[in-house]
Amino acid sequence: MRPTSRPRSAGVRAKTIVFLGAPDTQILDVAGPFQIFVRAAELYVKEHPGQASPYTVVLASTTRRGSVTTNCGLVLAGGVSYRDVRGAIDTLLVAGGTGVDAAGRSAEVTDWLRKVAPRVRRIGSVCTGAFLLGAAGLLDGKRAVTHWKWAGDLAARFTRTTVDPDPIYIRDGNTYTTAGVTAGMDLALALVEEDLGSPLALSVAREMVLHLRRAGGQSQFSAALALQASDRKQIADLRSWVLDNLHRDLRVNALAEQAGMSPRHFARVFRQDTGTTPAQFVERLRVEAARRRLEESRDKLEKVSSDCGFGSIQSLRRSFSRVLQVSPHDYRHRFRDASPA
């Protein structure tokens, strides 16, 4: 990975985005969001001929070497040592991986983070990169998130940080933390949108086939994935049937009948296997279906709510607020295709 080209227009400086990676970093924590910033810069220059590239993207290693060996064995070259990062940093993102623990024990690395943090506009982490921010004291007094698997460890180790294990990413002031792996791409898209506008961020998302851009407050946990993890075939098969019948009455009795169980036994087994209630599962699938309709069609909210089984616009609004922390109208405004027909 190499930095994007330097700005071409005199007097205009690109925002420098630095990804800090330790040995054994998770490759997607770097490669995914890195590529989003690079592609955003390319599309911006293409759409604004003669204007400067908005980003210079840099990979920095926590060691003295410029390369970073990832936990899958691939080596990311073309970077620099953190000691050699020069100039103003606009956004600093720490990648996760097993190497962050060793980096967190390095006084030189944590001192460097504490030194540069007050001078950057945005600082954050991807996945377990939050542990390195925590070791530097940069999460003290803040809300933060990491991969759900490590959220308990983060909370136990950094007691001055309020850890929420559920969201995809959290912004607290100028500090951003994300859940695992692909959540870094969601954050990168949100930062691109913040810098360059929703249409360009949406263009990047579509080019990278990230057609469902997730809001930060959305849960890490997918009801559909939880269902597929069940050992009971009648539970695992229920997802497809529900998706084909979203417009129907999908209360517990109907789901239990489809699964061939009594309502009481079904509700207990479902919660045991999936970690969610049947009602929450149905609501999340309906919201997901409605999101797609809002993104890909111009159907009125009345039709979307009816086709997806909400029954009324009010019910649709309540579910969107509960699951996505955004109204259907605002969601459509932000995420519907903004490119020319």
- Confidence grade of residue 16 (pLDDT, cut at 50, 70, 90): very high
In the prediction, which pLDDT does 9 show? 43
First to last CA, the chain: 34
The pLDDT score that the predictor gives to residue 162 is 97
Q: Does the structure show a pLDDT above 90 at 314?
A: yes
How confident is residue 5, by pLDDT bands cut at 50, 70 and 90? very low
**Using CA atoms, how far apart are residues 293 and 298, in angstroms rounded to an integer?**
8
What number is the average pLDDT over the span 304-328?
Answer: 91
pLDDT band at 154; cut points 50, 70, 90: very high
Q: Cβ neighbours of residue 68 under 8 Å, at least 6 residues apart?
A: 21, 22, 23, 25, 30, 59, 61, 75, 76, 79
Instruction: Indicate the range of 11-15, 31-35, 160-164, 315-319 predicted with least confidence.
Output: 11-15
Per-residue pLDDT at 10: 41
Higher pLDDT, 280 or 16: 16
- Span 327-331, mean pLDDT? 88
- Residue 222: band (very low, low, confident or very high) from pLDDT cuts 50, 70, 90: low
pLDDT one-digit tens code per residue, 229-252: 556 777 777 877 888 899 999 999
pLDDT tens readout for residues 49-101: 999 999 999 999 999 999 999 999 999 999 999 999 999 999 999 999 999 99
- Domains, the chain, in order of start with CATH, read 15-207 (3.40.50.880), 223-335 (1.10.10.60)
pLDDT of 91-149, one tens digit each?
999 999 999 999 999 999 999 999 999 999 999 999 999 999 999 999 999 999 999 88
Poorest-pLDDT segment among 14-23, 222-231, 261-270: 222-231
Of 39-48, 60-69, 106-115, 282-291, the one with minimum mean pLDDT is: 282-291
CB neighbour burial string for 108-121, b if at least 16 within 10 angstroms, e if fewer = ebbebbeebbeebe
- Asked if 132 and 29 touch (Cβ cutoff 8 Å), the reply is no
Q: Pairing relation of β-strands 175-178 and 122-125?
A: parallel
CB 176 within 8 A of CB 170: yes
What's the pLDDT band for 339 if we cut at 50, 70, 90?
A: very low
Rg (CA), the chain: 22
Strand-pairing partners, residue 175, are 123, 172
- pLDDT score, position 206: 83
Q: What is the 3-state secondary structure of 159-206?
A: CCCEECCCECEEEECCEEEECCCCHHHHHHHHHHHHHHCHHHHHHHHH
Q: Among residues of the chain, what percentage have pLDDT more than 90?
A: 64
Find, among 170, 20, 176, the residue nearest to 99 by Cα. 20
Task: Cite the DSSP H helix spans in the chain.
Answer: 27-47, 100-104, 107-116, 130-135, 151-157, 183-196, 198-207, 223-228, 233-236, 238-244, 252-259, 263-274, 278-296, 301-307, 313-324, 328-335
- Give yes or no for residue 6 having a pLDDT over 50: no
pLDDT band of residue 284 (cuts 50, 70, 90) is: confident
Indicate whether 211 pLDDT > 90.
no
